[in-house]
Chains A and B, each alone.
Chain A
Amino acid sequence: MKKTINIIVALVIVAGLFSCNNGGTSNKSQGALSSSAAEKVYVAPGELDEFYAFVSGGFSGQLAVYGLPSGRLFKVIPVFSQDAEKAWGYNEETIPMLNTSHGFIPWDDSHHPDISQTNGELDGRWVFINGNNTPRIAKIDLTTFETTEIIEVPNSAGNHSSSFVTENTEYVVAGTRFSVPVPQRDMSIKEYKGNFKGALTFISVDPEDGKMAIKFQILMPGFNYDLSHPGRGKSHGWFFFTTYNTEEANTLLEVNASQNDKDFIAAINWKKIEEYVNNGGGTKMPTNYAHNVYDDKTHTATSTMIKEVLTVNPIDIPGAVFFLPTPKSPHGCDVDPSGEYIVGNGKLSANLTVHSFTKMLDAIENKKFAGDAYGIPILNFEDVLAGVVEQPGSGPLHTEFDGKGNAYTTFFISSEVVKWKLGTWEVIDRKSTYYSVGHLMIPGGNSRKPFGKYVLAMNKITKDRYLPTGPELTQSAQLYDITGEKMELLLDFPTIGEPHYAAGIPAEILIPNSKKLFKLEENEHEYATVNDSEVKVVRKGKEVHIYMTMIRSHFNPDNIEGVKVGDKVYFHVTNLEQDYDVPHGISMIGAQTSELLIMPGQTETFIWYPKQVGVWPFYCTDFCSALHQEMQGYIRVSPASSNLELSWGLGD
């Protein structure tokens, strides 16, 4: 992409050289885009982008890091799926990160990244993302850009209304999309209605080290909980979830879940529930879920199975949960920077519904209820309505805010982004997307302090926008300048997986905290070899443990003999470099696993099962210096019956 832009800019310069300044020729008249659009996204060689964008990798299970405005891809952070490039889920250290109550799961569907907040503003400590399929929440440390914690969510299925954080990152929430029997049991699917439950899970985040723990689960009626966002400012302490399938259909949902004229936004007073459980409320339920933590000191993850979860029945806590009627099967549930407006993006509705937090409190205060659903009070639509954006487009999905009184909503069916004004509900501008936009993102656009310079639209379909690549076309995002009254489309760029949602943050917040290396003296890995005098090869029965080091540009040891067919050979490899941006890789011929890619000061392990007699090489896979090609070694494999003792060396 950079090259393309370079070429484009070069062409502009060349064109400029040739032009004779005879007046009248305006660049703007020459095409759909003015050259200023190119300038706005052009980040010159050696210069840095203004924002980071963390874009969900969808069915890749990962999280991609892009720069804005350039759209350049910097890193794909492995989260829920194995990544052979980085040995994520392959090396012995990270395999436990993908453990669940269903065993080792090599894949998931990652959806909604959200950056941690303090006082309602982005603080850039962590980004959270949900695994949709086998319900999990992951935490990525933004000093290392690595996944350091994954917690499984019990009693949940299709973990979709997740992973959004409260104003001080007190909680990250995980709401179920599919209601299920709680606890799971053998029962007729037809008995869904009234029997299945929808679990909304509040996971506490330790303010110091970020450690996650399930604080409580609210067992809601068996609707589908689609998306959510926290209250902020005046509505801090509340959380809002959209629902659909309030019909509680268990088959042909395409038709049967679209019958009701209105579904609900569930308003949850989590502070009230927190108080309730702190005072001993709730029911402890036996369950089984995995909590996986990666330790930056031992460079190793551990997985712990937890056997109990605290559940809460909403009708036991009067005043904690209410339903706000919202037309029709709302998707996005978005709260403006002031915390007053709650936007329900009714995806089958022609209009966009906006609720008022103040009015909601007033209706609750005066007990103006239209009825109840399973004992949960339903407020009157008219009593809580702040306003309606009339006929802005079709298929509204999701809204974000620029902090200047404007909202931006995506319309899936009509493929557009619509800018409208909070309070007056008038449509200000609309721009097409190419095509079928899902979510959009303004950096900080779901916080008290948005950085309203760009909006990033994430599309579901690209069709003719890129070179064809067979039946599967690239996924894509589109960047718009929103500094003016009218939006301006600046850039298309491809993305990995399906970009469901993104979180953006000014680069200047993250840059100072980005870790450059791991200190050798802090390496507490069980099999670390922190200097060359500790290099050794140890046999324990059929297990052979190689304590190996690597530095530009050799392995120590690089010659090993005495390994036998049938052994299980552990390579415990420590990168002795203490310089920025000098990882080394290692791979062994015939190893039925990935390479290792080891950061400076880090230790990683892979296992090799030698099956054939011979002398077999290993080598460095990441070009490290002028002598990278020389960075190699050999292991002699003798027959199982051999009596050859282990020996090893370097330069002997």
Chain B
Amino acid sequence: MKNLIKLSLLAIFAITLVSCGGDDKKAKKEKVKITTKKKAPKKAKTEKKEKTYDLSNKGIGPIKSVTLAADVDQAMATKGAEVYKAKCTACHKVEKKFIGPSPMGIFKRRSPEWIMNMILNPDEMVQKDPDAKALLMEFNGSPMANQSLTEEEARSVLEYFRTL
């Protein structure tokens, strides 16, 4: 049947081809030419010598604003430590750079909103956010896995990071 469909449609195609006037045909033929993909010219790479961090970048995702109290909420941080251990330690170690970066000193590098968005929305972050894209390259394309944390869990992990 597949062949039948193809044949019958080819026939339609052929008939319509023949049925057209010459000039018209040429003009229309150009329209359906398959164009090959043009490669965009590569931008010259500029290597940064010194790392500067944009702490105003909140990233892309559900978190628009986070308020950190003056003191660490210990109960929340304890919960966060548990979540971190269960869902993050396969790739992130506090004491060293591992599959991904260590969370040690993260608040000097990233805004709280950015951190939570990276946890909650990593797929979009590594595609669109300039800092997340740079990290993906730095870590050899190893993707930040979406571990399906709730916002509350991500917030508790953030609180835990404040204790490091």
Q: Which A residues lie at the B interface, using CB under 8 A?
A: 4, 7-8, 11-12, 14-20, 22, 25, 27, 30-33, 35, 37-38, 434, 465-466, 478, 489, 491-492, 517, 520-521, 530-533, 549, 551-554, 556, 576-579, 582, 625-627, 651
Given contacts A18-B20, A19-B16, 16 further A-B contacts (CB under 8 A): A12-B12, A14-B13, A15-B12, A15-B13, A19-B19, A20-B16, A22-B19, A31-B11, A33-B4, A434-B1, A530-B86, A551-B145, A552-B143, A552-B145, A579-B147, A627-B141
Which residues does chain A contribute within 8 Å of B28, judged by CB atoms? 17-18
B140-154 vs A, CB cutoff 8 Å, 1 = contact: the mask equals 111101111100000
Which residues does chain A contribute within 8 Å of B11, judged by CB atoms? 30-31
B124 to chain A, nearest CB (A): 13
A-B contact pairs, 11 of them (CB 8 A): A8-B9, A19-B20, A20-B20, A22-B19, A30-B12, A33-B5, A38-B5, A551-B91, A578-B87, A626-B141, A627-B142
Contact B2 A577 (CB under 8 A): no
Contact B89 A532 (CB under 8 A): yes
Indicate if B164 sits at the interface (CB-CB under 8 A): no
Binding site secondary structure of chain A: mixed
Contact B24 A20 (CB under 8 A): yes
Of residues 60 to 111 in B, which have CB atoms within 8 Å of A's CB atoms? 85-87, 89-91, 98-99
B53 to chain A, nearest CB (A): 25
B118 to chain A, nearest CB (A): 14
A461 to chain B, nearest CB (A): 14
Alpha-carbon distance between A308 and B2 when the two chains are bound, in angstroms:
53
A164 to chain B, nearest CB (A): 31
Alpha-carbon distance between A190 and B16 when the two chains are bound, in angstroms:
71
A16 to chain B, nearest CB (A): 8
Q: For A11, A466, A478, A491, which residue has the most chain B Cβ atoms within 10 angstroms?
A: A11
Indicate if B55 sits at the interface (CB-CB under 8 A): no
Alpha-carbon distance between A65 and B80 when the two chains are bound, in angstroms:
41
Contact B85 A533 (CB under 8 A): yes
Which residues does chain A contribute within 8 Å of B140, judged by CB atoms? 627
Q: Of all chain B residues, which has the CB nearest A466?
A: B2
A174 to chain B, nearest CB (A): 36
Contact A17 B32 (CB under 8 A): yes
Of residues 9 to 49 in B, which have CB atoms within 8 Å of A's CB atoms? 9-13, 15-17, 19-21, 24-25, 28, 31-32
Which residues does chain A contribute within 8 Å of B20, judged by CB atoms? 18-20
Which residues does chain B contribute within 8 Å of A465, judged by CB atoms? 1
Which residues does chain B contribute within 8 Å of A19, judged by CB atoms? 16, 19-20
Q: Of all chain A residues, which has the CB nearest B140?
A: A627
Contact B19 A20 (CB under 8 A): yes
Contact B25 A18 (CB under 8 A): yes
Alpha-carbon distance between A531 and B2 when the two chains are bound, in angstroms:
51
Indicate if B163 sits at the interface (CB-CB under 8 A): no
Indicate if B134 sits at the interface (CB-CB under 8 A): no
Contact B16 A532 (CB under 8 A): no
**Interface size bracket, B side:** 35 or more
Alpha-carbon distance between A489 and B6 when the two chains are bound, in angstroms:
16
B154 to chain A, nearest CB (A): 12
Which residues does chain B contribute within 8 Å of A31, judged by CB atoms? 4-5, 7-9, 11-12
Alpha-carbon distance between A37 and B91 when the two chains are bound, in angstroms:
51
Which residues does chain A contribute within 8 Å of B31, judged by CB atoms? 17
Alpha-carbon distance between A30 and B10 when the two chains are bound, in angstroms:
10
Which residues does chain A contribute within 8 Å of B86, judged by CB atoms? 520-521, 530-531
Alpha-carbon distance between A4 and B33 when the two chains are bound, in angstroms:
20
Alpha-carbon distance between A497 and B54 when the two chains are bound, in angstroms:
59
Which residues does chain B contribute within 8 Å of A553, judged by CB atoms? 142
A547 to chain B, nearest CB (A): 13
- Cβ contact of B8, chosen from A30, A577, A651, cutoff 8 A: A30
Alpha-carbon distance between A342 and B143 when the two chains are bound, in angstroms:
59
- Cβ contact of B17, chosen from A18, A492, A532, A627, cutoff 8 A: A18
Contact B146 A625 (CB under 8 A): no
Contact A552 B142 (CB under 8 A): yes
Alpha-carbon distance between A486 and B121 when the two chains are bound, in angstroms:
51
Alpha-carbon distance between A531 and B86 when the two chains are bound, in angstroms:
5
Which residues does chain B contribute within 8 Å of A37, judged by CB atoms? 5
Alpha-carbon distance between A386 and B24 when the two chains are bound, in angstroms:
65
Alpha-carbon distance between A345 and B25 when the two chains are bound, in angstroms:
57
B80 to chain A, nearest CB (A): 14
Contact B2 A4 (CB under 8 A): yes
Given contacts A31-B7, A531-B89, A25 and B146 within 8 Å (CB-CB): no
Which residues does chain B contribute within 8 Å of A35, judged by CB atoms? 9, 12
- Cβ contact of B1, chosen from A492, A532, A577, A579, cutoff 8 A: A492
Which residues does chain B contribute within 8 Å of A531, judged by CB atoms? 85-87, 89-90
Q: Of all chain A residues, which has the CB nearest B86?
A: A531
Contact A8 B147 (CB under 8 A): no
Alpha-carbon distance between A577 and B148 when the two chains are bound, in angstroms:
9
Q: List 5 A-B pairs, minimum CB-CB distance, nearest first.
A: A31-B8, A626-B141, A492-B1, A19-B16, A579-B146
Alpha-carbon distance between A492 and B16 when the two chains are bound, in angstroms:
27
B155 to chain A, nearest CB (A): 17
Given contacts A12-B12, A30-B11, A531-B85, A651 and B143 within 8 Å (CB-CB): no
Q: Of all chain A residues, which has the CB nearest B24?
A: A20
Q: Of all chain A residues, which has the CB nearest B14?
A: A15
Q: Of all chain A residues, which has the CB nearest B9?
A: A11
- Cβ contact of A15, chosen from B2, B9, B149, cutoff 8 A: B9
- Cβ contact of A551, chosen from B24, B25, B90, cutoff 8 A: B90
B83 to chain A, nearest CB (A): 10
Contact A625 B5 (CB under 8 A): no
Alpha-carbon distance between A33 and B6 when the two chains are bound, in angstroms:
10
Q: Of all chain B residues, which has the CB nearest A27?
A: B12
Contact B19 A532 (CB under 8 A): no
Contact A8 B6 (CB under 8 A): yes
Given contacts A465-B1, A533-B89, A12 and B19 within 8 Å (CB-CB): no
Contact A12 B9 (CB under 8 A): yes
Which residues does chain A contribute within 8 Å of B25, judged by CB atoms? 18
Given contacts A30-B11, A579-B148, A651 and B5 within 8 Å (CB-CB): no
Alpha-carbon distance between A491 and B2 when the two chains are bound, in angstroms:
8
Given contacts A531-B89, A551-B91, A578-B147, A18 and B142 within 8 Å (CB-CB): no
Contact A578 B146 (CB under 8 A): yes
Which residues does chain B contribute within 8 Å of A576, judged by CB atoms? 87, 90
Q: Of all chain A residues, which has the CB nearest B136?
A: A626
A494 to chain B, nearest CB (A): 10
